[in-house]
């Protein structure tokens, strides 16, 4: 995540907290990991409270971002929607602007 070389296959990094009670109490280091990465990479934070099918989910992401962080995903978030963003061209629909396509080789990682 810190290095900028491109790998030949798509990967997504998933940080989660898992406990027996399904409580979300934090304290597992997800936030501090994101802050650490922001010191070294150009990162776009996106609220995971949005629906996965929102056509403007990645609004504001550019080819200059190295990493996209989806924070606090809703229960039942459809990760299948992210498949093409992870493995192929990263399509970004911005409000009131044309859609941009970021080639896989330079696309931000999730």
List, for residues 56-101, the tens digit of each pLDDT value.
Answer: 999 999 999 999 988 888 878 888 888 989 999 999 999 999 999 9
Residue 64: predicted pLDDT: 94
pLDDT at 18 over 80: no
**What integer pLDDT is reported at residue 24 of this predicted model?**
62
Q: Do 44 and 21 form a contact (C-beta atoms < 8 A)?
A: no
Of residues 69, 3, 67, the one with CA closest to residue 31: 69
Give strand pairing partners of 43.
67
Distance CA 47, CA 59 (A): 11
């Amino acid at each position: 995540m810190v290095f900028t070389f491109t790998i030949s296959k798509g990967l997504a990094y998933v940080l989660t907290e898992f406990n027996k009670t399904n409580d979300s109490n934090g304290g597992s280091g997800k936030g501090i990991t994101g802050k650490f990465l922001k010191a070294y990479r150009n990162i776009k934070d996106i609220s995971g409270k949005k629906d996965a099918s929102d056509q403007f989910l990645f609004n504001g992401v550019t080819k200059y971002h190295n990493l996209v962080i989806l924070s606090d995903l809703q229960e039942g978030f459809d990760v299948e929607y992210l498949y093409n963003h992870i493995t192929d061209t990263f399509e970004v629909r911005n409000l009131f602007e044309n859609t941009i396509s970021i080639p896989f080789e330079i696309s931000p990682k999730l």
